[in-house]
Amino acid sequence: MDPKEVKSDLVLILDFGSQYTHLITRRIRSLSVFSLCISGTSSLKAITDLNPQVVILSGGPHSVHACDSPSFASGFVEWAEANGVYVLGICYGLQLIVQRLGGVVEVGEKQEYGRMEIEVEKANGLYGTKRVGDRQVVWMSHGDEVAKLPQGFEVVARSQQGAVAAVENHSKRFYGLQYHPEVTHSPEGMETLRYFLFDVCGITANWKMENLLDEEINIIKETVGPDDHVICALSGGVDSTVAATLVHKAIGDRLHCVFVDNGLLRYKERERVMETFERDLHLPVTCVDAVDQFLSKLKGVTDPEVKRKIIGKEFISIFDSFGHDLELKIGKKPSYLVQGTLYPDVIESCPPPGSGKTHSHTIKSHHNVGGLPKDMKLKLIEPLKLLFKDEVRQLGKILNVPNAFLKRHPFPGPGLAVRVLGDVTEGNALEVLRQVDEIFIQSIKDAGLYDSIWQAFAVFLPIKSVGVQGDQRTHSHVVALRAVTSQDGMTADWFNFEHQFLDNVSRKICNSVRGVNRVVQDITSKPPSTIEWE
């Protein structure tokens, strides 16, 4: 998907490292407006090439006083003014606007973190029909504050402590919020964003998934030549399946799907997935047994990043080999590889401004992104790389992918390799994990909870604990259970099971899986943790 091809007013977010940045992207898309997030330190050309109607400067952990604090590109202000582009700064973004346009930002006498009440001082602009004196609760997160506004700017709202909470310069089309309107802790934040986009900026809510489907099919047809053949890596997950169905709709039988059994799949995953592909989706799929190839390369490896790199490299090796066999069969070498890479995969594998790297901290290398060799022979097609998971499910529904398949929980590309902490080939860790995971997931389904949970899975821990089973001392494995709720995987809360459910699952696991004598539950949100353990 090329952002330039999306027929919609674009709202571009410049990311300065806030943990909420990508929530802004989601909130705006929920208003049927296409939004995209790029590094806050992107070049002016990278920004202007996208031709945004609105630019939002995100928050971030930095102080504008620091000599190495990240900033927008030189010439950005002049370009925005000359082209009538609206600019909204949020938190650090507001302070950046104030400082770069001639105002003053100082260390606040009273820092503001958490819920705070603000009061409207100007009854137009950002707050629409709000009257002077109207109050609302917002979510603050800043230590610096605006001490002097640039020429032409006005205060629109202040906090209960007197700090500047919102500013605007109507003639320049520059606006700023010291708080985070995108989080649910700012109850009227979405109303403010909605008013700003539609009433202040005049944005049109015309971004629809149906339009996106047509655009993407056209892009694939233009990219893939009339005689070119394409390989698609199918994992059995929603992402790769929707990507394959989309490409198949665009180029038909010139798509050749391959499902790789890498020895890191869940319980009976190979049989179940292949049956679904053939019976329900009617996709042309070849199954490759590469269990020994993967596990031999992973033997002795404990570092999660190294695991991901190895797995990514082996996948590409298999696809190259599959492509060679396909060439002998059809008389033409395949040119492209389709992958179900999503926007969160790209985001989390990218470098944030101010980190000394080129963009946010690399949380983990996604095997679709960070594990690909530079000398890969196949060119990539990633039709979903600007979409979040829930948007992929919407697209799949339009493509008539069976609903039961679309509701499947996400499964990581590296499979159980990142759910066995340590060496995946040691002992019978993989088999133990498969059995534990199957009991956990089936119990969730039996309890009618599967669709209420974003993702659930078990983790094999590299420790043993003392237990008592059959009146005898045991020294056996510990497993962890994780279940979270989420909108798009960027943030997540742990799912609160009833105690009786957890009691039943724990008993089933310890009674049924030989070698396990202790079950623990992960009750950490994202952030501070990630959803997966590795």
Write out pLDDT tens, residues 128-182: 878 888 899 998 877 788 889 999 999 999 988 888 999 999 999 999 999 999 8
Is 530 inside any structural domain? no
Asked if residue 18 belongs to a known ligand binding site, the reply is: no
CATH number at residue 507: 3.30.300.10
Q: Is 20 helix (H, G, I), strand (E, B) or coil?
A: coil
Cα–Cα distance measured from residue 164 to residue 159, given in angstroms and rounded to the nearest whole number: 6
Q: Is residue 280 part of a domain?
A: yes
Instruction: Assign residue 175 the CATH number of its domain.
Output: 3.40.50.880
Q: Let me know if 180 is a catalytic residue.
A: yes
- Cα separation, 82 vs 128, in Å, equals 25
Q: Distance between alpha carbon 216 and the CA centroid of its chain, in Å?
A: 20
Three-state SS for 79-109 is HHHHCCCEEEEECHHHHHHHHHCCCEEEEEE
The total number of structural domains that make up the chain: 3
Determine which one of 182, 269, 348, 438 is catalytic: 182
Q: Is 360 annotated as a binding residue?
A: no
Q: Is residue 288 part of a domain?
A: yes
Asked if residue 476 belongs to a known ligand binding site, the reply is: no
On whether both 464 and 403 belong to a single domain, the answer is no
Q: Is 142 a catalytic residue?
A: no
17 three-class SS: coil
Residue 4 located in a structural domain: no
Evaluate whether residue 526 is within a structural domain: no
Which is more confidently placed, 19 or 482?
482
Residues 136 and 42 in one domain: yes
From 200, 231, 259, the end of a domain falls on 200
pLDDT tens-digit map of 34-77? 898 889 999 999 999 999 999 999 998 888 888 888 999 999 99
In this structure, is residue 529 part of a structural domain?
no
Is 375 labelled a binding residue? Answer: no
- Kindly name the residue from 22, 62, 142, 180 that is annotated as catalytic: 180
- Give yes or no: residues 156 and 225 share one domain: no
Q: Is there a contact between 353 and 16 (Cβ–Cβ < 8 Å)? A: yes
Burial class (CB in 10 A: 0-12, 13-18, 19+), 494: middle
Catalytic site includes residue 361: no
Classify residue 445 as left (phi > 0), alpha (psi -120 to 50) or beta. Answer: alpha
**Cross-strand partners of 261:** 289
Average pLDDT, the chain: 87
Asked whether residue 157 falls in the same domain as residue 221, the answer is no
- Identify whether residues 188 and 228 lie together within a single domain: no
**Alpha-helix runs per DSSP H in 399-513:** 403-406, 429-446, 499-512
Give yes or no: residues 83 and 140 share one domain: yes
Say whether both 41 and 114 belong to one domain: yes
- Domain contains 154: yes
C-alpha pair distances (Å), 440 with each of 323, 361, 436, 482: 38, 33, 6, 10
Q: Which of 91, 201, 257, 510 is catalytic?
A: 91
Residues 328 and 300 in one domain: yes
Whether 17 and 166 share a structural domain: yes
22 within 8 A of 347, measured Cβ to Cβ? yes
Q: What is the CA radius of gyration of the chain?
A: 25
pTM, 2 dp? 0.68
Is 239 annotated for ligand binding?
Answer: yes
Residue 417 in any domain: the answer is no
216: containing domain:
209-407
Please indicate if the annotation marks 323 as binding a ligand. Answer: no
| CATH classification of the domain holding 274 | 3.40.50.620
Q: Tell me how far apart the alpha carbons of residues 518 and 496 are, in angstroms, rounded to a whole number.
A: 20
Tens digit of pLDDT for each residue in 249-294? 999 989 999 999 999 999 999 998 888 888 877 888 999 999 999 9
Asked whether residue 135 falls in the same domain as residue 274, the answer is no
**Is 2 annotated as contributing to ligand binding?**
no
